[in-house]
Amino acid sequence: MVIAPTRGWPALRLDEISAYRELLYFLVWRDVKVRYKQTALGVAWAVLQPLLTVFVFTVFFNRVGGITVKGVPYVLFSLSGMIPWLFFANGVTIASASVVTNVNLVTKVYFPRLVIPIASVLSNLPDVAIGLGLLLVVMAAYGTAPAVAILAVPLILVLVFASALAVSLWLSALSVEFRDVRYVVPLLVQLWLLASPVAYSISKIGGTWKTVLALNPMTGSLGLFRWAMLGLNAPPASTIAVSCAVTIVTLVGGAYYFRAMERKFADIA
């Protein structure tokens, strides 16, 4: 093995990440274990968080604001948006701080640093699983059965994971040098929620605006998720294509940016 200064474009070294998959597993396991320790309600939070938000949405958007969605009860509509949204939002929130919170590892032991944000986003998977269970229960209560398309849910979650990771790679690398990121993230996530069709539907919006909205990768994933769970109309192929393309570009760019910044992590963190 040769240790030498690296210059220019970094190599992603994905093979190394796969060699360190056990560490990845243990970091996910640690974050999952620790998340609800010393909380009174514990894992119940994974149910309460989407449930309370949907309650608030239903009161303000549906009852007060008069927003309705054709063909599906508003509660089901917003809850089915909330599950992938929380995966994305919690992933970005936790993972963009992850390099800084794991600074004790970064300065003391070698491993591919990309493992850190990946593990942070993945550690939200149990919450997603619980959320899916909750959604199925609420659907049953409304007498709605999932369609066969539910089999596509794992694939859609991969897309959500990819977009959460893409954003996190940029922010987590940036936050090592600029702690401002800590203050930017909550604001960013809030605005992003409003820009994503979680509480409202964009089925009536057409033309150019549809393409612009599709630049937000959550537009595509939310539409797909509702198609898979509730049997709503799938978003047009163009929307899906744009969402996927944006995700891939930010993900690959983020990975290279992260790898390039990584050289300085141990020195400036």
User: How far, in Å, are 106, 141, 186, 203 from residue 9 at the CA level?
Assistant: 21, 54, 31, 42
104 interacts with other proteins by CB under 8 A: yes
**Shortest CB 185 distance to other proteins, Å:** 14
- Shorter beta-carbon distance to other proteins: residue 55 or 257: 257
Pair 70, 95: CB distance under 8 Å: no
**Shortest CB 246 distance to other proteins, Å:** 25
266 interacts with other proteins by CB under 8 A: yes
- Shorter beta-carbon distance to other proteins: residue 10 or 236: 10
Of 118, 123, 120, which is closest to residue 14 (Cα–Cα)? 118
Q: Which of residues 6-45 bind other proteins (CB under 8 A)?
A: 6, 22-23, 25-26, 29-30, 33-34, 37-38
Cα 100 to its chain centre, rounded Å, is 19
1 interacts with other proteins by CB under 8 A: yes
Residue 150 is classified by DSSP as G
Length of the chain: 269
Query: Among residues 8, 15, 108, 145, which is the contact residue for other proteins, using CB under 8 A?
Result: 108
Pair 145, 77: CB distance under 8 Å: no
- Shorter beta-carbon distance to other proteins: residue 2 or 194: 2
- Shorter beta-carbon distance to other proteins: residue 112 or 254: 112
**Shortest CB 137 distance to other proteins, Å:** 30
CA 89/CA 189 separation, integer angstroms = 6
CA 150/CA 140 separation, integer angstroms = 14
Q: Which of residues 177-236 bind other proteins (CB under 8 A)?
A: 177-180
**Shortest CB 264 distance to other proteins, Å:** 7
C-alpha torsion sign, points 31, 37, 38, 40: positive
Convert residues 151-180 into a mask of x (bound to other proteins by CB under 8 A) and - (unbound).
Answer: --------------------------xxxx
Cα 97 to its chain centre, rounded Å, is 14
Residue 156 is classified by DSSP as H
CA 26/CA 39 separation, integer angstroms = 22
Query: Among residues 12, 105, 149, 234, which is the contact residue for other proteins, using CB under 8 A?
Result: 105
| Terminal-to-terminal C-alpha distance of the chain | 26
116 interacts with other proteins by CB under 8 A: no
- Shorter beta-carbon distance to other proteins: residue 35 or 226: 35
Contact positions vs other proteins (CB under 8 A): 1-6, 22-23, 25-26, 29-30, 33-34, 37-38, 104-111, 177-180, 263-264, 266-269
